[in-house]
Amino acid sequence: MLNFLLRRSGVMLLTALSLTFVVFFLTNLEPNLEKLTKTEGNMRMTDQQVNSWLERNGYRQPLIKRYGEWLGVAPGWTRVDEDGRERGRCVAPGGTIAESPRFCGVLQGNWGQSFVFKEPVLDVIGRKLALTGWLMLCVMLVMVPTALVLGILAGMREGSRTDRTLSTLSIITTSTPEYVSGVILIVVFASRMGGLRWFNGTAASAMDNITFWNFTLPVMALALYGLGYIARMTRASMSEVMTEQYIRTARLKGLSFSAVVLKHALRNALIAPFTVIMLQIPWLLTGVAIVETLFNYKGFGWTLVAAAQNNDIELLMGASVVAVVVVLITQLISDIGYVFLNPRISVA
Amino acid sequence: MDRLSAFEIITGVLAQFTPVWIGLAVIFTISYVYRERLALYGKLFDSTIGIIGLVLVLFWVLTALMADWIITFDPLDQISGMKNKKPGWPVRGQEGMHYLLGGDNLARDVFSRMVMGSRTVLVIAPAATIFAFMVGITLGLLAGYKGGKSDTALTFLANMVLAFPVILLFFLLVTPEIRSTGVPLYLAGVLFLFPIIFFLLLFWSRFEGQGTKLYVSLGLTLGLGLWAYSGLAFNADPTGVFYMDPNLLNIFVSVVFVNSPTVFRIVRGLTADIQTRDYVAAAQTRGEKSWYILLWEILPNARGPLIVDFCLRIGYTTILLGTLGFFGLGVSPESADWGMTINEGRKLLALYPHLALPPALALMSLVLGLNLLADGLREESLKD
Amino acid sequence: MAQSSPAAQSPSQNTTPVLDIKNLSIRLPEKADRTHAVRNFNLTVNRGEILCIVGESGSGKSVMTSAIMNDVPPRLGVESGEVLFDGKDVLHMSKKELSDIRGARISMIYQEPMAALNPSIRIGKQVEEVFKLHRPEIDAEQRKRETIKLFEQMRLPTPERIYRSYPHEVSGGQSQRVVIAMALACKPDILIADEPTTALDVTTQKEILLLIDELRDVYDNATLFITHDFGVVAEIADKVAVMRYGELVEQGTREEVLLNPQQDYTKLLVDAMPLLETVRTPDTGRNDEPLVEVDHLHKIYGEGSEKQVHAVNDASFVLRAGETLGVVGESGSGKSTLAKSLIRLTEPTEGAVVINGQDFLALRGQDLASARKHIQMIFQDPYGSLNPSQKVSTIIGRSLELRGVPANEIKPKTIELLELVGLGAPAYDRSPRNFSGGQRQRIGIARALAMEPEVIIADESVSALDLSIQKQVLWLMNDLQERLKLAIVFITHDLRVAAQISDYITVMEKGVMVELGTADAVFNNPKHPYTKKLLDAAPGKGWHPPRLTRAEAERIAAQDPAAAGLSKPTGLQGTKAS
């Protein structure tokens, strides 16, 4: 088990490094740097001026070196200007090179400064993650139990009327991406046209105070899309298990149908959906971005979109790191959970 | 002139789709008569779900094909006084003409834009899915069959792309700035090679040693393939037949890139499973080459799950395109792309829901059709 | 129809039958090849007796037994009839009554013991569940004691360990004992055994058969034993009922049915029962060039000293044209690995395989590809060995194409091959799914022959077939061998099958060829204790059911065209007479 964990973690680390490097490469493409320079300086800078600004601020070093600096494994660049001012990646304005630390990257907790929010990236991300955390929590609480129950009810008796109805419902929700379900929900429950106006069409107020009225619609929009998918997985797994010989054994032992389902089918049927649920979390990220934008809930997804649209490189890098790490950790949990749920698999 | 009632709007819309209804009737009559001979497609008629799905999908395919006859106004025309007008609003100065589903915030006809929007989706989504399948199948077969280092490397790469949050990838890849760096071009250069490689391998493995057949098939593949390749990837087709708008190329490449690893994983799994069958061993013992076994013994038997996934994936790609549009990364600002229309409409959702609702429902019904179709196909293919 | 005489072995004096099936009919779904799975079926079973239900695949025997516990699959339906258990109709019981009976008074054991146990629940818990349900009065501690006691009674080694294990941690034979323990936990009146030994090795089969026989005396229950193998019938039955197309063909005592069958169909089945008698005597004095020479062949799986499995350990033999070597062994003995190593589906670790004077193992690339045509294989699973997406014309024609046969000759040659294996031109354009298991196996043989090989490896090629079909395919292979002078390496777990076709026999145990000799020597004068054990475990040993004469077989074929395929009056019998 330990060996397996080590190996998996190794692969994870490698993936994380490769992915962040790709993001680093893509965010630091020439046009982005140019845009950055002009927002820092002024819009009418000549190409030459742009170039020299980039030169002076360490952007003209080899990409791999800069990635190392950003990560905190390569020493930050330093420079003494013509006027004798000492500057560098790790040098605070007015500080000296000698006093400053040599390394200052992600590993040292230095995630840079956000242009848009005018504060350290780490603070922005921390705050936004908390907001999104609440949203995800509610979504999971609604989505997972509903999906599992629907899937099990449908898969319990394959081909029955319940099965057909529930399966069709699941297909409908998987065909409704968040931006469609969001629009429909708002129109029906929060607009004049729908006439119901039960809920708020925006979740902006939920950032301070989550209520049933301002949070229901975004949670529903997010949960619906994933719900059908998990329910279908559960159904497939359940109906397969129900045809197994050991289910017949249990039935012919004299167990009632409900006991057969609860004691013998359930655990085996939940192994496959577990993996799906865990892998759903990173997949939800796109949905989160959509829903947060649609409902104006300024959480992590919204921040990612804002950072990308405003060329806020440091913030985008920070958000990417978080996103990638979340994805990889859920994958690891899904692997480990699979092993624990399934006694047949022993990890050598 | 009065505004149309709800009933008149509905009949009006249904009447506009007359060519589609006729098309559907013809297709279904013919298919039903010959269903015995149509293999899996014919068996679909035994599945209610599958038929509903097929109707929905065909509806949009026919709509896209005949969009010019269905629209009531030019989807780009702005008619003064029609801004954000409600469904069924009469058009001033044009007797008897109405904006069936109202006008958008630039005073364009919502109905015509929705109809035209189907074209964008129904061209890009299937095409991108086909390319993703070519990449995924070629690499998946290789990795699943050979195992070893190439498998480890490819699987690592695929997992890496899969671990990449889709939304982030889109924001990084589908920006106007990135075009000047040539990244999409390189990606296209690699990804678009796969169909050519695939067909070369397909014919070579089958006709090796059979002289003329081999040369003709390889020659045709190379000729046609490279011609299209030069045009699509590098816009260097001298005849100008094959051409792709740079922004479209950008989106296209990103969608193919996102979809390929999933196809790769599916094919790899299927290959690893099917290659344990005895007929593969039989092919090995008569001295077949690897690629013959992969493409002519294994791949045909993976077709069931692949066809099902193909339908699902077109649906997923449609959703992805919508997502892109939703974030303002759509095909082009003035196109009637569904995702972009939803994006424009969402800002006024509480006041004018008729802007975003039609494209949203259109997109949903197409994806639903594809998913139902996939479900019907899966059900029927399992019956064998 | 022969009536059952009072069974001499029956220890019970109880005269009223514990189970009485009257006029049972069970429908099949609409598109099936016949209307009923079971039709007008009558059967009575008494305490203390073992009744074997014999039938080939599709005879309806499993569906019939599912009705006894009112567990007929939902897509089928009981049309009429009664299943009286102790005088009460099981088919009309309430859910509560059914639950009380199932597992307590009627219980069942299955063909795949591994599949019958829930993979995610410990074995002890699964057995205890029966006590919890049917004997709620006993407490947890006592439940465990009773379970362990049952395990001991089933002669499971280390009952405490098994109690704590998950199903995947015990062997097939052990899990069958667990399933039997579970079935007998409440001392049922009826035990239904659905092919309980078919998936097990012969030696394990023997032990399980002994156990069931013994337990019948202890519990005085009625046992309904379903099987397709008359050898097993000979070992265990008191009475026998033969089924075909869902109907009862014949019933009687073991001796009556096996030694003096009345109905033609029964005669054919009994005739197809393989015996442990050798048929061929090879010419041991031949000194022409051997076709196959295997020299000190090894195959080791895995790396590192601990995980290594020596699947084939020092195999050597020679085989000449027209000879068959039977390779016999239980699962895991390395016989299939030997086959795969010979044909290089897996690369041997060490040793030499010389085919036709050419070192087969040294070949690479194009040389290997062209040398492969000398040695071909016939596979076990008739369903998995033909590509379902290809037509018969492609399956066979591709081999011809590879061999460089001109395009215009491929079709006639393919049809010629199809005729050679008894299928003929109509098969040419059809796809494998239109054929039965036996016919598919013939296509597989035609595919192998299309390469014009000198050596054929048959890996359990008849194991998946019904006995009567098995016999036909063996005949065919025998004929072809005589005509084409093939050398055949015939791999099987069944000594009785090996006896019918082999000149030489080798017995493998844990990768080692423990015995190699002429068929006659191995069967009649075994040297190695393992060979003796295998021979001893072969079911039906010592029984000599009547063999049909050519004239009888022809008469039956004329009267029962459906069974005609069973009675091809040439082949092995002719060989046997010589």
C93 touching chain A per CB within 8 A? no
Torsion of CA B138, B142, B143, B147, to 10 degrees: 180
Q: If you average pLDDT over residues B278-288, what whole number do you get?
A: 92
Distance from C-alpha of B185 to C-alpha of B179, rounded to nearest angstrom: 8
CB-side neighbour CA atoms (13 Å) of B23: 19
CB-side neighbour CA atoms (13 Å) of B138: 18
Task: Check residue B384 and give its pLDDT.
Answer: 58
Nearest to B282 among C389, C404, C447 (CB): C447
For chain C, list the contacting chains (3+ Cβ pairs, <8 Å): A, B
Distance from C-alpha of C253 to C-alpha of C245, rounded to nearest angstrom: 22
Chain-centroid distance, C-alpha A243? 36
Closest chain A residue to the Cα of B375, Cα to Cα: A171
Interface probe with B: pick from A63, A180, A331, most Cβ of B within 10 Å: A180
Tell me the per-residue pLDDT of A213-262, one tens digit each, with 9 for 90 and over: 888 899 999 999 989 989 999 999 999 999 999 999 999 999 999 999 99
Task: Check residue B92 and give its pLDDT.
Answer: 79
Residue C23 host element (H or E): strand C19-27
Residue/partner pairs of C417-420 with CB below 8 Å, 24 or more apart: C417/C446, C417/C449, C417/C450, C418/C392, C418/C443, C418/C446, C420/C446, C420/C449, C420/C480
Tell me the per-residue pLDDT of A291-318, one tens digit each, with 9 for 90 and over: 999 998 999 999 999 998 888 888 989 9
How long is chain B?
Answer: 384
**Are B350 and A192 in contact (CB < 8 Å)?**
yes
Closest chain A residue to the Cα of B350, Cα to Cα: A191
Collect all residues with Cβ–Cβ distance below 8 Å to A296 and sequence separation of at least 6: A202, A203, A204, A302
Which amino acid is located at B115 in the chain? Answer: V
Residues of B in contact with C388 (CB under 8 A): 301
Task: Check residue C15 and give its pLDDT.
Answer: 64
E strands, chain B, in order? 89-90, 98-99
Residues of B in contact with A14 (CB under 8 A): 156
Pairing outcome for strands C247-253 and C239-244: antiparallel
Distance from CA of B203 to the nearest CA of C (A): 15
Nearest to B301 among C343, C387, C399 (CB): C387
Nearest to A252 among C102, C134, C166 (CB): C102
Task: Check residue B36 and give its pLDDT.
Answer: 79
Q: If you average pLDDT over residues A102-128, what whole number do you get?
A: 88
Query: Running along chain C, 578 residues long, what does each successive block of 10 average in pLDDT?
Result: 41 69 90 85 92 89 92 88 91 92 92 90 93 91 93 90 91 91 91 90 90 88 92 93 92 93 89 84 86 93 77 93 93 90 91 91 88 92 90 93 90 93 89 87 94 93 85 89 94 91 94 93 92 91 84 78 46 31
Tell me which residues of chain A, numbers 226 to 285, contact chain B at a CB-CB cutoff of 8 Å. Answer: 282-283, 285
**Are A304 and B178 in contact (CB < 8 Å)?**
no
Handedness of CA C501, C503, C509, C510 (dihedral sign): negative
Distance from C-alpha of C64 to C-alpha of C46, rounded to nearest angstrom: 17
For chain B, list the contacting chains (3+ Cβ pairs, <8 Å): A, C
A167 touching chain B per CB within 8 A? yes
Q: If you average pLDDT over residues A130-144, what whole number do you get?
A: 92
Tokens of C412: 């006639």
CB C522 within 8 A of CB C352: no
**Are C103 and A254 in contact (CB < 8 Å)?**
yes
Distance from CA of C165 to the nearest CA of A (A): 10
Which amino acid is located at B81 in the chain? Answer: G
Alpha helices in chain A, H assignment, sequence order = 2-27, 30-40, 47-56, 63-71, 121-156, 161-174, 178-190, 212-242, 245-252, 257-259, 266-294, 300-309, 313-341
Nearest to A175 among B49, B326, B368 (CB): B368
Closest chain A residue to the Cα of C132, Cα to Cα: A255
Task: Check residue B200 and give its pLDDT.
Answer: 95
Q: In this model, does residue B2 exceed pLDDT 80?
A: no
Closest chain B residue to the Cα of C450, Cα to Cα: B286
Tell me the per-residue pLDDT of B33-60, one tens digit each, with 9 for 90 and over: 888 777 778 888 888 899 999 999 999 9
With a pLDDT cut of 70, the percent of chain B lying above it is 99
Distance from C-alpha of C393 to C-alpha of C403, rounded to nearest angstrom: 15
Interface probe with C: pick from A246, A251, A260, most Cβ of C within 10 Å: A246
**Are C444 and B288 in contact (CB < 8 Å)?**
no
Tell me the per-residue pLDDT of B63-99, one tens digit each, with 9 for 90 and over: 999 999 988 888 888 888 888 888 888 887 777 788 8
B153 touching chain A per CB within 8 A? no
Q: If you average pLDDT over residues B283-301, what whole number do you get?
A: 93
ipTM of predicted complex: 0.88
Distance from CA of A95 to the nearest CA of B (A): 35
With a pLDDT cut of 90, the percent of chain A lying above it is 36
How many CB pairs below 8 Å do chains B and C form together? 52
Interface probe with C: pick from B274, B276, B284, B286, most Cβ of C within 10 Å: B286
Q: In this model, does residue A345 exceed pLDDT 90?
A: no
Residue bearing the bigger pLDDT, B31 or C13? B31
Q: In this model, does residue A58 exceed pLDDT 60?
A: yes
Distance from C-alpha of C335 to C-alpha of C4, rounded to nearest angstrom: 43
Secondary structure of C184-213 as H, E, C letters: HCCCCCEEEEECCCCCCCHHHHHHHHHHHH
Tell me the per-residue pLDDT of C235-248, one tens digit each, with 9 for 90 and over: 999 999 999 989 99
Residues of A in contact with C130 (CB under 8 A): 253-254
Task: Check residue C8 and give its pLDDT.
Answer: 41
Q: Packing angle between helix A300-309 and helix A121-156, nearest 10 degrees?
A: 120
Residues of A in contact with B360 (CB under 8 A): 179-180, 183-184
Distance from C-alpha of A48 to C-alpha of B229, rounded to nearest angstrom: 38
3-state secondary structure of C457: strand
**Are C377 and B282 in contact (CB < 8 Å)?**
yes
Find the chain B residues whose C-beta atoms sit closer than 8 A to any C-beta of C: 209, 277-279, 281-282, 284-289, 297, 300-301, 303, 384
User: Phi and psi at residue A93, in whole multiples of 5°?
Assistant: -55, 125
Task: Check residue C216 and give its pLDDT.
Answer: 87
Nearest to C120 among A245, A249, A343 (CB): A343
Task: Check residue A165 and give its pLDDT.
Answer: 93
B348 touching chain A per CB within 8 A? no
DSSP bridge pairs for C165: none
Collect all residues with Cβ–Cβ distance below 8 Å to A97 and sequence separation of at least 6: A78, A80, A86, A88, A91
**Are B284 and C369 in contact (CB < 8 Å)?**
no
> Cβ–Cβ contacts within 10 Å for residue C225, how many?
27
Which amino acid is located at A70 in the chain? Answer: W
Residue C106 host element (H or E): strand C106-109
Confidence of residue B104 (pLDDT cuts 50, 70, 90): confident
Task: Check residue A49 and give its pLDDT.
Answer: 86
Collect all residues with Cβ–Cβ distance below 8 Å to C374 and sequence separation of at least 6: C355, C356, C358, C360, C453, C454, C455
**Are C118 and A255 in contact (CB < 8 Å)?**
no
Distance from C-alpha of C22 to C-alpha of C12, rounded to nearest angstrom: 23
3-state secondary structure of B151: helix
Cβ neighbourhood burial of A194 (10 Å; 0-12, 13-18, 19+): middle
Secondary structure of A1-60 as H, E, C letters: CHHHHHHHHHHHHHHHHHHHHHHHHHHCCHHHHHHHHHHHCCCCCCHHHHHHHHHHCCCC
Q: Which residue has the tokens 């729908």?
A: A194
CB C219 within 8 A of CB C187: yes
